Structure 1
Amino acid sequence: MLDQVVVGLLASTCGTYSYVGRSILAGLRHAINEINADPAFDFTLDAREYDPEGELQNYITGVDQLLGQGARHIFGTTTSSSRKEIIPDLERTGSLLWYPCPYEGYECSQNVLYLGACPSQNLLPLLSYAISGFGPDAYLVGSNYIWGWESNRIARELLELADGTVHAEKYYRFGDTDFDTLIDGIIHQRPSFILNNLVGESSYHFLNQLNEACREHGLRLPVLSCNFTESELAQIQTPDAIQLLSCGAFFEGVDPDFVARQHRRHGIQPISHCYTTAYVSMHLFANAVRAVGHDHPEAISETLANLNVPTVLGRLQMSEHNNHFALPCHIAEAGPRHFRLVHTENQAIPADPYLVQSDFDAFRNLATDRQQRNFLRLVK
C-alpha cells in the first residue's frame, strides 16, 4: 500500500469560464481534505495543481507538468476543447483523466472517466420536458466549438422528430458579449424556447440582455441549458422575464443536508453539479485505491467497474464498455439566489454517448399527439 498518492488538479480559476473552474477545484480540494482526515484511508493524497487560466495551450503545459510530478490521475478540465487537447498525453503515458463536466457525447476514451453527463442523461430529458410543456419551436444558440455544434445538432434532430421548427441556429466566439441582433430575432419570432449552449461570460451577457429585452416587451420566454450551474447564478440578474431551466446530476435542493454539511466544513459557497461530480470523482478514486492497494490507472478502471460506492449522487458504478457512469437527472428553474427543482427522473440514466441505444419514440409521440389535437373539431 502506498503511503502517499500524487493527484493532479487541472482547473482554470480565471478566464471566460472561471466560475465553473473554481467550483470544480473547490469540490476536488474539499474531497481531498476529507479523505486525508479520514482514518479509514491508510494513505494521503498529495495534490499538485496547475491553473491553465482558460487558455487552451496552457492545458498541454499543465498536464505535462503534473505528469512530470508523478501524477497518474488528472482531475478537471472544463471545456471539451481542453479535455480533447490532453487526451494524446494521457494515452502516451497511460494516465487517466477524471472529467466532471457535462459534454456533448460522441467520445469514448479508455484514458478518460466521464462523470459529467452526456446528452442521453441531460439534453434528451430536458428537451422532452420543454417540448411537452412549451412547444416544439426553438432558437438554438451556442459557443463556436464542439459543445455548441454537437448539442445543437442533436437538438435539431429531436425537434424534427417532434415535428418542430428551428427558427435559427447561431454561434458566437468565446467572450462575445453583443447579442442585439440575435435577441431582436428571438423577440420577433417568439419561439417556444431557446436552447442556450453558450459558455461562461458570453452566456451571462446573453441571459442578462435577453431578460431585459423580454421585460421591455412584456414577454417571459423559457431558456434551456445543460451547462449553467449554481456557481454561475450570481453572474446574472434576477431572471424575472425569462424562465431559465437547467438540467444536471445535482442541485442544492436535491440534498440540502449535504449542502449544509459542506458549508459547515468548508465555508459558504455554491454547491453546483460540477462541484459535486468533481467531489465525488475524488472520493471514488480514493475508494478504488484503497480496494486495490495502488494507483495504477488500468487497475483503478477495472475496479471502478465493480465498485459500488454510496455517494451524494447515489451508488455509482462505471460502465466498463464506455467509461461513463449512470447518473441522476434533475431539471431546475433559476431564481434570484437558488434553483428550484421542477422535475426529477425516476432513476439514474445510463450513459449512451453515441445515442445508439436511446429511445426517441417520446419525441415522435409528441408530434403525433400534436397532430391529433390539431385535427380535433367541435361538432354541434
Structure 2
Amino acid sequence: MRTSRAIVVSALVLFTLAACGSDAEPAAQSNEIKVGLLHSLSGTMAISEVTVRDAELLAIEEINKAGGVLGKKLVPVAEDGASDWPTFAEKATKLIRQDKVATVFGGWTSASRKAMLPVFERYKALLWYPVQYEGLESSPYIFYTGATTNQQIIPGLDYLKEQGKKKIFLVGSDYVFPRTANKIIKAYAAANGMEILGEEYTPLGHTEYSTLVNKVMQAKPDAVFNTLNGDSNVAFFKQLKSAGATSESMPVLSVSIAEEEVTGIGVDNIVGHPVAWNYYQTTETSANEAFVKAFKAKYGANKVTSDPMEAGYNAVYLWAEAVKKAGTTEVEAVKKAAPGIALERPEGLVTIDGENQHMYKTARIGIIQPDGLIKQVWDSGKPIKPDPYLKGYPWASGLAAS
C-alpha cells in the first residue's frame, strides 16, 4: 500500500506540473506581495497545523504594521492541504502558477513535504517548511525552519540514555517521518547499548490502540519513543493510561506533541511525559515574552504557543529579512541573500545555514506539566549546526543511501 500510495502522489504531481506548463510567470507589479500559506485546515492533521497558519498570519500582520517588505504589504493566500498529500501538491501548484505568490510557507508531515518538493523544484519556487523532520534531505528550493535529526531526535535519545532507559519500544504513524526516524533510532541504539523491544506503526487518524498498547505493556520497555502524529495521539495516550502505564513507570518521549496537542490529548493523559523540541511557551527569552503576548492578544488568552508555530512564525521573518537583503522577491536572489542571516527569535538565536538551508537551533528537552505547559529540563546550551545527513555521526554511515 505504501508503494502504490507513493505512485499515486508522484503521478498526480507530474500530471499537475504538465497541466500547468513549464515556467512560472512573474508576479504582477503592485504595492502588494502575495505569499502562500499551505496547511491542513481539515482532517487528522488540523489539530496541529491550524495554529501554524495562525502564527504565520500574526507574523505577516506584524511585518505589515512595521512597513511591510520593500515598502509593500504582504497579502496571505491560504489553502487547505486537507491532511492529504496529493492535495498539498495540487495546492502548491495553484499558489505558484495561479496566485503567483512570492513564496509559500507550509506543510507539517514529511509526506506532505515530499509531495510538494518536486513542485517547488520544477517551478524554482521557494517553500519554507516549519516542522521538525527526519533529516536525510535537502533541496535548493526548501528552507527548513524546524529541527533536523541532530537537533531533536538525537538529543532526545541522549536524554533517555542519560536517564538509564536502555530498553525502548518504537511507536509511530505509518508514513515517511516515523519510519525514517526509527531507522535512525535503531542505528543509534545499536551504537549506544540500547535495545529496541518492538516497532509498531498505525495509519494517520487511527484511533484503536488496545492491541498495540497490549504489545507495549507486555514488552515492559524502560521508555517508549513516540512518532505518532495528529489526533492518533489522543487515543494512544488515553488507552495507554487506561492500561496502567504512567510517566514514572513507562515514560513516552514524543517529538510531535507540543502545547497545542497536549490540550487536545488532555493533560491528565500525558502529564509527566517528556518531549523533545527547540522551543516551548515557557522558554525564557525577551523575544518569546513579546511573541506569547502578541499571540494571545490576537487569538485568545487561553491559546498556547508551540515549537512548530514558532518555527512558522520565524519563517516569515527570515524570508522577509532575506528579501530585504536581496532587494527583491526574485527567488534566486533571495536564496543567495539568505545564508548567514541571524535573528533573535522566541526560541533564541536562529541562523540560516548556507550549506543546506536548515537552521542553527538550540535543542531542548521538556516535561509536560499539570497546567498543560512544558517545563524545560535540559538544553544544548547553544544553537546546534544542522546536520541533516548525520555526517558527524559514524554510526549513521550509510543511512542516507538505505
Partner SS, residue 122 of structure 2: helix
Aligned match for 1:166, one of 183, 189, 196: 196
47-56 or 178-187, larger mean C-alpha shift: 178-187
Instruction: Report if the CA contact (8 A) 2:283-2:346 is conserved.
Output: no
1:70 and 2:100 aligned: yes
Distance 1:52 1:241 in 2: 28
Partner of 2:337: 303
1:346-357 aligned at under 5 Å gives the runs: 346-357=381-392
Q: 1:11 aligned to 2:13?
A: no
Moved over 6 A (4+): none
Residue 224 (structure 2) pairs with residue 224 (structure 1): no
Match of 2:183 in 1: 153
Correspondence for 1:43 among 68, 72, 75: 72
**Where do 5+ consecutive residues of structure 2 fail to align?**
1-28, 397-402
Structure 2 matches for 1:197-236, cutoff 5 A? 197-214=227-244, 220-236=249-265
2:237·2:270 contact (CA, 8 Å) conserved in 1?
no
Is contact 1:220-1:243 (8 Å) kept?
A: no
Distance 2:149 2:169 in 1: 18
The answer to whether the aligner puts 1:322 opposite 2:356 as a matched pair is: yes
| Equivalent position to 1:345, from 380, 385, 389 | 380
**Within the alignment, does 1:94 sit opposite 2:124 as a pair?**
yes
Structure 1 residues 313, 303: CA separation in 2 closer, same or farther (over 3 Å shift)?
Answer: farther
Partners of 1:80 and 1:240 lie apart in 2 by 27
Sequence identity percentage: 26
Q: Which residue of 100, 107, 112 corresponds with 2:142?
A: 112
Instruction: Give 3-state SS (helix, strand or coil) of 2:323's partner.
Output: helix
| 1:56, distance to aligned residue in structure 2 (A) | 1.7
Where does structure 1 lack aligned partners over 5 or more consecutive residues? 362-380
Which moves more between the two structures, 313-322 or 217-226? 217-226
1:307-334: per-residue Cα shift (whole Å, max 9, x none)?
Answer: 2232223332211211111111111111
Which whole-Å CA distance do the structure 2 matches of 1:358 and 1:181 have between them?
36
The one-character-per-residue Cα deviations of 1:330-377 (angstroms, maximum 9, x if unpaired) are 11111232111111111111111111114769xxxxxxxxxxxxxxxx
| Alpha-carbon contact 1:174-1:202 (below 8 Å) kept | yes
- 2:311 maps to which of 274, 277, 281: 277
Deviation per residue, 1:276-319 (Å, 9 max, x gap): 00001101111222222211111112211032232223332211
Q: Does 1:254 align with 2:288?
A: no
- 1:126: how far off? 0.7
Aligned to 2:328: 294
Per-residue deviation, 1:206: 0.7
Give yes or no for contact 1:212–1:241 (8 Å, CA) kept in 2: no
1:140–1:59 CA distance, 2 compared to 1 (3 A): same
* Larger displacement relative to structure 2 (335-344 or 107-116): 335-344
Distance 1:283 1:241, change over 3 A: closer
CA distance in 1, matches of 2:108, 2:358: 16
How high is the TM-score relative to the length of structure 1?
Answer: 0.89
Shift of 1:240: 6.2
Q: CA RMSD in A?
A: 2.1
1:40 CA drift (Å):
6.9
Contact 2:238 2:269 in 1 (8 A): no
SS at match of 1:140: strand
Q: Is the CA contact 1:214–1:220 (under 8 Å) kept in the aligned structure 2?
A: no
Tell me the SS of whatever aligns to 1:103.
Answer: coil
Q: Which amino acid aligns with 1:347?
A: K
**Partner residue of 1:24?**
52
Give the SS at the match of 1:104: coil
Distance in 1 (alpha carbons) for counterparts of 2:382 and 2:376: 16
Aligned residue pairs: how many?
Answer: 360
Which amino acid is 1:31 matched to?
Answer: A
Task: State the one-letter code of the partner of 1:23.
Answer: T
Candidates 291, 297, 313, aligned match of 1:264: 297
